[in-house]
Structure 1
Amino acid sequence: MSTYRRFNSLMRTTFLGTSDSAGRALDAVPGELIRPEGVRRYLIAIPDDAPPEGRPLVIVLHGGGASAAQVMGRAFPPSPLSLLLEVAAREPFVVVAPDAGEGGWADGCARSARAAGRDDVAFVDAIIARAIVEHGVDPARVHVVGVSRGGWMAYRIASAIPHRLAAFAAILAPMPESGPGSAPEVALPALIAGGTADPLLPYRGGKYRYAFNFMGRLRSIDDSVAVWRCLGGLDDAPATSTIVPGSGQCGTSVTRTVWGADPAGMQVELYRIDGGGHAEPSRLKRYPSFINWLTGRQNGDVEIAEAAWTFFREKRNARMSAGV
């Protein structure tokens, strides 16, 4: 490679990152709902080659300071969760990315005056209801995945409307110690992922000076996992495996721990990213180096969109399946 090409590659990696594709992706189009707080917006992707009924639904919740466009790969920097659009084209299932709007999610953990008057749980509930009626979504196969503040919102949704969900995932998001989303009462299959070197939402939890009054105290990732394990009665020894490194990304490694042996039953799954920062693991969607300098290392051995769908794929909401 010439000196110019090496320099150009370095500049692109530093300031743009890389965004590769593994296959065809669904196209996400805008949608709107009229809510008491006003017009709420979202992006929706519907497979055109799937049966008109019985489709799973995956709701994707963006992080703080981001948007539905960013988490769906339409805005800089493209999120690794945007690969769900490729997974959905292959499987297929419906993908919806709600937009929090100004102030971010009313997640009950981060304090925002602009979000205080909104009911984001009701917003997501309304999206689910519309998807069931208008897009043939199976009510027993509704899943939520959120990253960072979107992960806090996922906890809140799982706590407030567990009857709507078959499973959920919270990426780079320890549970809050108090407030909405901190004390769920109904067991749900849960996938939780966190980096041990995350400088923004630390793996070990607690309250940090940099946050000032922005957020309350957080549980550790391990304690967050324990909440859902206890609810699900998962006391047996888990299955633990080390993800084989394959990306050449130095300084991180991943351990996967699963409680519950039945992929169609109650499970809690933990991805512990040793040395990982506040960046969703991905081989294909790499954040720019200048972002990683601020947020910590991004692991490339796990494709988090694929991991989330693998966890969701066999899960069913038993109450909905029984017509209760």
Structure 2
Amino acid sequence: MKKLTKIKVLFILLFFIFIAFSCKEDSAISPKTEQRVEGSLLVDGIQRTYLLNLPPNYDEATDFALVIAMHGAGGKATQMESDYLLTEKANSSKFVIVYPERVQSSGILGVRTWNAGTCCDYAVEKQIDDVKYISLLIDELLKKYPKINPKKVYATGMSNGGMMSYRLACELSHKIAAIAPVACSMVTVKPCNPSRAVPILHIHSKLDEKVPYQGGIGIFGYYFPPVEAGIDTWLRNNQCPAQSKKINVFAQYTHIIWENCLANSTIEVYLTEDGGHSWAGGLHSRVSADVPSKAISANDLIWAFFQKYQLP
């Protein structure tokens, strides 16, 4: 019996040694997962929050781009992440992405909005300095994560978040290399005087009734200027030659591009025939939400566009 017991003990020890070495080997070859941070930043006495995602290869590489993704009115960081699949894109394409959150209203619904100019709601009424918040956030992330290239910082956003990206292009052109607003129009109230030409990619649906492409009364009863009015502002800012305009018409979308603008920048517009007030290629996560366009993938177009530009 004693001999049998010793054999059993020896067998058990060998088994656990085998398991330990197997686990060590597996962990060495298994891919690393993304690193996620829920952060906060005190700005003008208000605790501002954000969700940061580092790609799986962050520890092994350098020269990362940072994409600032701003959610729409009533949304939040986790909603934008889950609905638009941007973190999956960031992990597969190896860039850092941050989802800053807007100030929450004191009302019963606690709606979050950005102060993009004339829109929207609580942030405009209280004159929340969202430009200062994003500027300080960029500084904070560049300090904490030195592998991010300060010349490769970009901004995108949905609806009110897209409007905010236009304002950032006007006021933070020295920090943001390019922007890609989605389903919005430019609603800034201050003169737009960027220190440099800012490349712009705008994505919109012809069927969007909440922020109409042609302009008009939309969501929450706000008046939104025509998208082309904002584009015209940037054609002047970037000194784009009128003759450089190219229009490519496809079955489900139209692509308009102005090339040979100042500093080799471009301005591009994708106008889809399907979808609505939604993120093209994203998820239709709620019955009350508009169905996203299937004609294009906003994530693929935006990342390909950003990769072409960096700050001088």
TM-score by length of 1: 0.75
Q: Describe how 1:299-310 pairs up with structure 2 within 5 A.
A: 299-310=293-304
In 1, Cα distance between equivalents of 2:167 and 2:300: 23
Q: In percent, how many aligned pairs have the same letter? A: 24
- Determine the structure 2 residue equivalent to 1:286: 283
2:49 to 41, 49, 53: 41
1:199-232 Cα distance to aligned partner (Å, 9 max, x none): 11111113x28744xx4x4321222222212211
Pick the aligned partner of 1:160 from 163, 171, 176. 171
Contact 1:241–1:256 (CA under 8 A) maintained in structure 2: yes
Q: Establish whether residue 194 from structure 1 lines up as the match of residue 200 from structure 2.
A: no
TM-score by length of 2: 0.78
Whether 1:222 and 2:228 are equivalent positions in the alignment is yes
Cα deviation 1:144-177 (Å, max 9, x = unaligned): 001100011111111111100110011000112x
CA contact (8 A) 2:205 2:275 kept: yes
Cα distance in structure 2, aligned partners of 1:210 and 1:168 = 23
The aligned amino acid for 1:255 is: T
User: Which of 93, 96, 117 is equivalent to 2:95?
Assistant: 93
Task: Quote how far apart the aligned CAs of 1:93 are.
Answer: 1.3
Is the 1:232–1:266 contact (alpha carbons within 8 Å) kept by the matching residues of 2?
A: yes
Number of positions where the alignment pairs a residue of Structure 1 with one of Structure 2: 268
Q: 1:272 to 1:121 in 2, by over 3 A?
A: same
Structure-1 separation of matches of 2:246 and 2:233: 18
Q: Identify the structure with bigger relative contact order (alpha carbons < 8 Å, sequence gap 6+).
A: 1
RMSD over equivalenced CA pairs, Å:
2.5
Aligned-pair CA distance for 1:289: 7.0
Q: Does 1:298 align with 2:292?
A: yes
SS in 2 for 1:72: helix
CA distance in 1, matches of 2:33, 2:256: 30
Q: Which residue of 2 aligns with 1:130?
A: 140
How far apart are 1:316 and its partner, in Å?
Answer: 0.8
Distance 1:32 1:306 in 2: 29
Counterpart for residue 13 of structure 2: none
Closer, same or farther in 2 for the Cα pair 1:25/1:308, shift >3 Å? farther
Query: How far did residue 308 of structure 1 move?
Result: 0.6
- Give the Cα–Cα distance (whole angstroms) in 1 for the partners of residues 33 and 268 of structure 2: 27
Unaligned runs of 5+ in 2: 1-31, 106-112
Using the alignment, how far apart are the partners of 2:120 and 2:181 within structure 1? 19
Tell me: CA distance 1:66–1:111, structure 2 relative to 1, closer, same or farther (3 Å): closer
Larger radius of gyration between Structure 1 and Structure 2: 2
Residue 117 of structure 1: how far off its partner (Å): 4.5
Q: In structure 1, what residue type is equivalent to 2:206?
A: T
Q: Tell me if the contact between 1:32 and 1:40 (Cα under 8 Å) persists in the aligned partners.
A: yes
